[in-house]
Structure 1
């Protein structure tokens, strides 16, 4: 395609890559920012649902008299659901489109949250949490696709920054969850204190209902996905109506475009082009899964078991750490995502996390107030590093590494592997904590060192270097040119 001139009265769309290039250059106009916010609200729901039992798990243990093994089953049920949801959601996102998958998922969120909150026994709770996990798993591939396919490639609020925004939104949801718990702690009479975890679970249906009610006004299908399906006419229509980009496609172009073969099979991720990208992304996801589960999910348990805090102190300290360290770190991550390379930010984040975990292991169970404050600061330091580093960057890697035609399966597969790691961690950590106490921090510190070695020395892939949606058809040409240059 000839270079598009800014002075033209309209932009002629001849093929799918033309749509990608227009969005990469001019996204941010019209309704696109509202689509981004709706996608981020989906992430908010994911985080809220995964956080609800991080405090409530202690109440669930008491109410249903759970053993450590059953505690692990309850805690990991939602993560096991995300594994199935990631695979299913990734495949459906590429197969039938972003919009339909997103809206069906919101309905499932509402039902599962209400059933979980009203669970009469532990088995109903486990099943409901598993279904909630399916919802979370389905949502992330489609939400990440929306974030990248409705954003420009360069400048402020680019794809990397929009994808990094998932992290502060995640911690905002975690903070809201504990704010709701804190509010209910004072609101509910003492005889109904065991309803804290139930009401907080049900409250997670509210943002999903909001999306369902306002979907028709702002949410659309991704024009990049439509164009890759051969539907240039509908893609151009969305460019005009949602992006305020004056574009058109002639009938002969729309008719000539053949629907591309659907690469929705997961086998494509193992070819020589995508395998290194998948490996580095999986290493990041597994490392984050074990660390996040230890510090973020089990933070209330760490405070109450190891630091011997009471209920009110546990809730307020968890809320404070999420707001002061994790959320602010996430905001910093959004700011630097469009200014620094992903590899550099990740290495810095993992290095700080290693130092924090090592310090927590050395401190052990604090014997005085001074060591207690140092330990809490180390927890905050870990959360801050997670916010600006691995937490912000982990979704940039799989989302920007794969073109739109396989983005859903790419993100879904990486998240499924992450789900396996997190489910394993959720099952093992209660046992490890009971056996090793604070030495568990030393074990988990390994997951901060390994990704530094992989990213820094073994696979130096940088996802923000090239817009894969705009150049996917030219990959072979670029490789041939590079080979010719290197052989001269």
Structure 2
């Protein structure tokens, strides 16, 4: 951008909420602050993944320190998932009612307080409480982060809404790998006699990036201009465009008052809108795709140590090394490819191809069974890598486009929150049932897991819906205008 002061640039008149969203969607509005907001939103995704992963490596030490029974250990593990379900369902609603900025800042406070509370927990009860609060923050963050990614991006091109919503996938895998790096660093930094404190330092470290985001909020973070305009506050939307995009936006004297401003608050009835005639099929398709991808992902990704150590009969060192390599080489690279595929091929084709590769990988693992010879072990690891690559580039990245870009600004947070809350119910069940199924079925568990991509493909075939490049706000307004004219 030019160094010319914003006030001296050619004024851009804003007459309606449509002008605001059109300006952002066209890509004509560009600014370093807007890009920074996108990075901060991805930072929220990073925190989600880190906090969900941080206790996975310390649950044994926690059981020993607090003398926990298996039931209490399960409560410690499950508390964050329960909080995330509640946080997603209600957080998405709050994102639409209160705004993206307020909920995002509340998220960061949740992360700081809960991370420090977990790190200093004197007993299991306090640890469960703060893990539950951490889960609420995690659940609230996904709807607000995805709303920011969608509403501070243009409609098409490299910096499109589809590409940026897909960017959550590599951010997630980088965070899970980063958590492992933190654990490894602390392992060597802490004296041997204090390794029982490793889990406390790992969880507490999650407060640092949240604090950084809180410290830079005044300089970079801002409300979504589309949300502000849809609330009837065109002057605030214009101010955001000036601050975040360096666009000399000026509200015209003959500006329209958006219809949303005069409508009463509908409360939980917003959830019912997800299932009206216009959005029902999209909501159900996005939900099935999300559940299919999360069941397969959670079973395979979190079950990697079980798969490698048990089914592939590998030792501890090989198990750790193979798990890390599979995540870094296949998952992160797949996620980066998913960003490019989003705006080139679209979410529908990329998701369908990803599910197809996953299906082939799981069938291959089921056929290979429990390999004994090295070539079969390598073939099984290659199939696992292909599954994770396809997950990260396909359904794992693109399902966020179905969940967020199918709805207009006024309904986006609620749609994502409903999708995420219900998805987390599925992921919790997957985490519970995979060890049980793996113990009882052995390698035959992969035949069961293969049903997940089958259902995902069936959902895609049931409705050929492409959310990438779709302007939900424009369609919503045009439909409302036609209905008003007809009346």
TM-score with structure 2 length normalisation?
0.91
Q: C-alpha distance in 1, partners of 2:389/2:56?
A: 19
Residue 451 of structure 1: aligned partner: 456
Kindly indicate whether residue 18 of structure 2 is the aligned counterpart of residue 17 of structure 1: yes
CA contact (8 A) 1:77 1:129 kept: yes
Report the CA distance between 1:260 and its aligned residue: 4.7
* Separation (CA, whole Å) in 2 of partners of 1:60 and 1:320: 27
Equivalent in 228, 231, 234 of residue 229 of structure 1: 231
Any stretches of 5+ residues in structure 2 without a counterpart? 1-8
What CA distance in whole angstroms lies between the structure 1 residues aligned with 2:86 and 2:57? 25
The match for 1:105 is 107
Residues 400 and 468, structure 1, Cα contact 8 Å, conserved in 2: yes
Question: In the TM superposition, what are the counterparts of 1:394-405 in structure 2 within 5 Å?
Answer: 394-405=399-410
**Residue 375 of structure 1: aligned partner:** 380
Post-superposition shift, 1:244? 1.7
Confirm or deny that 1:407 pairs with 2:412. yes
1:475 and 2:485 matched: no
Determine the structure 1 residue equivalent to 2:425.
420
Deviations, residues 277-305 of structure 1 (Å, cap 9, x unaligned):
00000001111221111111232343344
The aligned length equals 473
* Structure 1 counterpart of 2:358: 353
Instruction: Work out the CA distance in 2 between the residues paired with 1:475 and 1:177.
Output: 47
Q: 1:246 aligns with which of 245, 248, 261?
A: 248
Q: CA deviation at 1:438?
A: 2.9
CA displacement, residues 332-387 of structure 1 (integer Å, 9 cap, x when unaligned): 00011111121110010011111212222233333233332222222211111111
Partner of 1:323: 328
**Once superposed, what is the RMSD of the aligned Cα atoms?**
2.4
Structure 2 CA distance, aligned partners of 1:452 and 1:478? 35
> Is residue 386 of structure 2 the alignment partner of residue 385 of structure 1?
no
Relative distance call for 1:199 and 1:312 in structure 2 (3 A) is: farther
What do residues 44-67 of structure 1 show as CA deviations (whole Å, max 9, x unaligned)?
000111122333345545656666
Contact 1:72 1:426 in 2 (8 A): no
Aligned to 2:6: none
Contact preservation (8 Å) 1:76, 1:426: no
Q: Structure 2: how far apart are the matches of 1:61 and 1:350?
A: 38
| Candidates 77, 80, 83, aligned match of 1:81 | 83
Q: Which moved more, 1:224-233 or 1:307-316?
A: 307-316
Q: Which residue of 1 aligns with 2:52?
A: 50
Aligned to 2:277: 272
Is 2:229–2:258's contact at 8 Å kept on the other side of the alignment?
no
Q: Which residue of 2 aligns with 1:302?
A: 307
Report the more deviating stretch, 262-271 or 132-141.
262-271
Matched, 1:460 2:464: yes
How far has the Cα of 1:242 moved from its partner? 1.1
How far is the alpha carbon of 1:12 from its aligned partner?
1.8
Instruction: Write the distance in 1 (CA, Å) between the matches of 2:235 and 2:159.
Output: 27
The change in CA–CA distance for 1:260 and 1:138 in structure 2 (over 3 A counts) is farther
The 2-side partners of 1:300 and 1:146 are apart by 35
| Structure 2 partner of 1:117 | 119
Cα 1:258–1:268 shift into 2, 3 Å: closer
Instruction: Identify the range of structure 1 (101-110 vs 65-74) with the bigger mean alpha-carbon deviation.
Output: 65-74
Q: In 1, distance between residues paired with 2:369 and 2:66?
A: 30
CA distance 1:272–1:86, change in 2 (3 Å):
same
> Residue 459 of structure 1: CA displacement?
1.7
Tell me the equivalent position of 1:219. Answer: 221
Counterpart contact for 1:350–1:448, Cα < 8 Å = yes
Partner SS state of residue 259, structure 1: helix
How big is the shift at 1:247?
2.0
Q: CA deviation at 1:254?
A: 6.3
**Corresponding residue for residue 197 of structure 2:** 195
Cα deviation for residue 205 of structure 1 reads 1.4
Q: Secondary structure at the match of 1:53?
A: coil
Measured at CA, do residues 345 and 124 of structure 1 come closer, stay the same or move farther in structure 2, by a change above 3 Å?
same
- Residue segments in structure 1 that go unaligned for 5+ positions in a row: 1-7, 482-488
2:131 corresponds, among 126, 129, 132, to 129
Cα 1:429–1:77 change in 2 (3 A) is: farther
Match of 2:174 among 151, 154, 172: 172
TM-score (norm 1): 0.90
Displacement of 1:312 = 4.4
Name 1:365's counterpart in structure 2: 370
Give me the whole-angstrom Cα distance separating, in 2, the residues matched to 1:401 and 1:14: 25
TM-fit CA distance, 1:436? 2.5
Q: How many Å separate the matches in 2 of 1:66 and 1:362? A: 39
